[in-house]
Amino acid sequence: MIDATLTTLLAVQNETASSFGEGPGSWTIGLVLVVLVSLGALLAAGQTLKRKPESHIDPAILRNFNKRVTSWLTICVMLVIALMLHRSVTIALFGFVSFWALREFITMTPTRRGDHRTLFWVLFGFTPLQYVLVGIDNYDLFTIVIPVYASLFIPARIAFAGDHKRFLERTAKIQFGLLICVYSLSHSAALLNLKLAKWNSDELKWEAWQNDTYGLLFFFIAIVQVSDILHFLWDRLFGRHVIAPAVNATKTWEGLLGAACCTSLVGMVIQVVLPVTPFTWWGAGFMALIISIMASSGSMTMSAIKRDRGVKEHGTLVLGHAGVLDRIDSICFAAPIFFHLTRFFTDAESKGVEVVVEQSVAAVTTGMSCFSSLV
């Protein structure tokens, strides 16, 4: 009887694990390969043009382009390794990136001695807490801890330090850094927690989306990459009207609109060829359009901050390249919008679709029932 019970338990666990979709699926792996090969080809082309002395392309533009592609390729490789290992490793990776980006932001914005204890709680308290809440999938808390509780804690802790000089300015700097570098970026990792539904146009009803959310996360990162590179190319090739010369002398309206439209087309093609999202093909195009606009907004916002502080780059984590914040500014602004739009339009619970129970919960439930039968 015990052998039969164990066999039943293992069979149910295996069935539940396969339905829950542990690890990236075939569509996700296909998208990963396409992105890595494309970035590798772009980098090879850029290096080839750089070595040709007869090239008519400005060497400074080539250097900037190669740095961009190299940075995105590095980010993709790190993300792929984390995705292949475990969901918790991916969340931890985003947590480390948030910590480092916040450190760069704080370094760029001078603080006073009275802020040091507050910064300790921000870096070693609220930052890891945010990703712990994402890891345990506590949506109700991870969406309010920083905007509400941290926003109240920071000014109170600075006030208790007894230093009132430039109080509002110092408080706002720390709050903004925590909001962008940690809270906003954590929505990227939170994409892994979503339980989604998709629209079945044949039967005219919502049904459970069976693919893994790793593909959804990588779709988001890939679209941000595409938008960043296309914006750079459109600015250099067709840019005529600069958006804000005092903020960023290279960002143009042509680059913004051209990158948004082309990125939308790329999103549609990805969904048609490699359906890694629960969206329709036109829905994927709409999401890609929103991601591109928000990514450009993030880049412009960080450019304004750098001009205000009189710095060129936020940091130099990788020698010869810009800092972490220079490469994730677009992700930080796009992530919360993409997360909440995805949840609003395709959340399984709101559509009345039954969600598959996670493996750990199913295993415990099955184990309890088997134990009852033994007794």
Residue-wise pLDDT tens digits, 318-355: 444 457 888 888 999 999 999 999 999 998 887 777 66
Average pLDDT value for residue range 141-164 = 93
The per-residue pLDDT for range 351-368, each reduced to its tens digit, is 777 665 444 343 333 333
What are the CA-CA distances from residue 322 to residues 116, 313, 362 (Å)?
26, 6, 46
Question: Of 272, 275, 308, 270, nearest to 291 (Cα)?
Answer: 270
Above 70 in pLDDT, residue 37? Answer: yes
Who has greater pLDDT, 26 or 12?
A: 26
Q: Chain-wide mean pLDDT for the chain?
A: 83
DSSP letter string, 195-248: -BEEEETTTTEEEE--S-HHHHHHHHHHHHHHHHHHHHHHHHHH--SEEETTTE
Query: Residues with Cβ < 8 Å from 371, sequence gap 6 or more?
Result: none
Q: Mean pLDDT lowest for which of 53-62, 101-110, 160-169? A: 53-62
pLDDT for the residue numbered 15: 39
What are the CA-CA distances from residue 9 to residues 23, 355, 357, 359, 361 (Å)?
22, 21, 15, 12, 13
131 CB-side CA count, 13 A: 26
- For residues 151-180, one letter each, b for 16 or more C-beta atoms within 10 angstroms of the residue's C-beta and e for the rest, the string is bebbbebbeeeeeeeeeeebbebbbebbbb
The angle formed by the CA atoms of residues 339, 344 and 346, to the nearest 5 degrees, is: 90
Above 60 in pLDDT, residue 17? Answer: no
Band (pLDDT 50/70/90 cuts) for residue 22 is: low
Average pLDDT value for residue range 181-196 = 95
d(CA 94, CA 185): 7
Average pLDDT value for residue range 18-29 = 65
Helix/strand number for the chain, H first, E second:
15, 4
Q: Which pTM value belongs to this model?
A: 0.82
Average pLDDT value for residue range 4-31 = 54
d(CA 265, CA 259): 10
Q: Mean pLDDT lowest for which of 10-19, 58-67, 265-274? A: 10-19
φ, ψ for residue 8, nearest 5 deg: -65, -40
Looking at the chain, how many residues does it have? 375
The three-state secondary structure class of 99 is helix
Residue 252: in which H helix or E strand, if any?
A: strand 248-252
Who has greater pLDDT, 65 or 93?
A: 93
pLDDT for the residue numbered 176: 94
pLDDT for the residue numbered 146: 96
d(CA 106, CA 125): 15
Above 90 in pLDDT, residue 222? Answer: yes
Beta bridge partners of 197: 208
Question: Of 22, 29, 20, nearest to 210 (Cα)?
Answer: 20
The per-residue pLDDT for range 236-249, each reduced to its tens digit, is 889 899 999 989 88
pLDDT for the residue numbered 160: 92
Query: Residues with Cβ < 8 Å from 196, sequence gap 6 or more?
Result: 209, 213, 216, 278, 342, 346, 347, 348
d(CA 277, CA 214): 10
Band (pLDDT 50/70/90 cuts) for residue 205 is: confident
What percent of the chain is modeled with pLDDT above 70? 84
Above 70 in pLDDT, residue 19? Answer: no
Identity (one letter) of the amino acid at 108?
M
d(CA 120, CA 139): 25
> Residues 233, 236, 238, 239: is their CA dihedral positive or negative?
positive
